[in-house]
């Protein structure tokens, strides 16, 4: 999933995905360097991250 798809799936802003997702423990994969770098997320990682935040 790219950053935009991840933001839409999590119902969060794209800014949150770029700025805070990593700090919150959501593992991203970076392709490229500098300002043109793209980040991608494995769907499995996003689902695991969501499961960890589930309120019982």
The model's pTM:
0.82
pLDDT digits (tens, 9 = 90+) for 15-53: 999 999 989 999 999 999 988 889 999 999 999 999 998
Work out how many domains the chain is built from and give that number. 1
Residue among 24, 23, 18 at smallest CA distance from 2: 18
| Domain boundaries, position 39 | 3-52
Res. 55 pLDDT band, cuts 50 70 90: confident
Res. 2 pLDDT band, cuts 50 70 90: very high
- How far apart are the C-alpha atoms of 56 and 53, rounded to whole Å? 9
């Amino acid at each position: 999933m790219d950053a935009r798809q991840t933001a839409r799936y999590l119902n969060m802003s794209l800014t949150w995905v770029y700025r805070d997702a990593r700090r919150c423990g959501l593992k991203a994969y970076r392709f490229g360097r500098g300002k043109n770098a793209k980040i991608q997320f494995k769907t499995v990682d996003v689902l695991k991250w969501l499961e960890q935040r589930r309120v019982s």
